[in-house]
């Protein structure tokens, strides 16, 4: 049996009895949702500060800080009763590169590779060097051709010559003169 506790003399010299005292509640713990929001906001702010510190220390090869930094996403944080995160991607820069096309080399027009049947030509200047062919005489008398050392007209200037009755070929070297009379058109064959 429980006996009441004696508290000492009361105002009238009677024992004083008290009711049991209820326990005092401990301070309330925050709800889990509020803890997540608070810790998330603190972590996000720490991330922003760390990113700012990290990017401010970068330097390019010339020692200029931030000169080579590329534009990145913009992050905005608002901390109130709840944390809100908004990320917007910056538009990519437009790069235009101008390329100047080099013109193709055009070969200088060289000496012609066909020529008429009458005349005296300097090989390499008036006509191109190479092997030429002709159909033969132009119909009146045979076709005469001569390879010459020079244009002196002397007999000893002749390297080779021939009178053709039909088709013929001759190889001409650069620096020689070529004389032709009463021949059909000469065309380069090789």
Output the pLDDT for position 94: 82
Contact criterion met (CB below 8 Å) for 160 and 120: no
The terminus-to-terminus CA distance of the chain in angstroms comes to 139
Output the pLDDT for position 150: 92
Output the pLDDT for position 141: 75
Output the pLDDT for position 178: 93
CA atoms within 13 A on the CB side of 71: 8
* Of 157, 153, 187, nearest in space to 170 by CA: 187
DSSP annotation of 15: B
Distance CA 21, CA 6 (A): 15
Output the pLDDT for position 177: 95
Place of tokens 């905005």: 76
Output the pLDDT for position 112: 75
Output the pLDDT for position 160: 93
Distance CA 155, CA 148 (A): 9
User: What are the CA-CA distances from residue 137 to residues 127, 134, 148, 151 (Å)?
Assistant: 20, 8, 20, 23
Distance CA 33, CA 24 (A): 26
Output the pLDDT for position 147: 94
The enclosing H or E element of 37 equals: helix 32-56
pLDDT in tens, the chain (190 residues): 555 555 555 555 555 556 676 776 666 666 777 777 788 888 888 888 888 787 765 555 455 544 455 555 655 555 455 545 566 777 777 888 888 878 777 766 777 778 887 889 999 888 889 999 988 887 767 888 999 999 888 889 999 999 888 888 999 999 999 999 888 888 988 6
Global pTM exceeds 0.75? no
Output the pLDDT for position 54: 76
């Amino acid at each position: 049996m429980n006996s009441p506790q004696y508290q000492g003399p009361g105002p009238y010299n009677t024992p004083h009895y008290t009711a049991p005292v209820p326990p005092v509640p401990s301070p309330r713990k925050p709800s889990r949702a509020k803890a997540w929001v608070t810790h998330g906001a603190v972590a996000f702010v720490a991330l922003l500060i760390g990113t700012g510190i990290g990017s401010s220390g970068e330097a390019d090869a010339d020692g200029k800080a931030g000169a080579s930094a590329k534009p990145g996403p913009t992050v905005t944080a608002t901390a109130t009763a709840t944390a809100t995160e908004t990320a917007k991607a910056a538009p990519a820069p437009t790069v235009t590169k101008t390329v100047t096309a080099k013109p193709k080399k055009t070969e200088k027009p060289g000496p012609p590779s066909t020529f008429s049947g009458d005349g005296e030509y300097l090989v390499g200047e008036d006509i191109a060097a190479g092997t030429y062919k002709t159909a033969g005489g132009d119909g009146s008398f045979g076709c005469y051709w001569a390879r010459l050392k020079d244009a002196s007209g002397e007999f000893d200037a002749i390297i080779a010559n021939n009178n053709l009755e039909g088709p013929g070929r001759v190889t001409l070297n650069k620096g020689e003169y070529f004389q032709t009379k009463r021949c059909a058109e000469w065309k380069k064959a090789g």
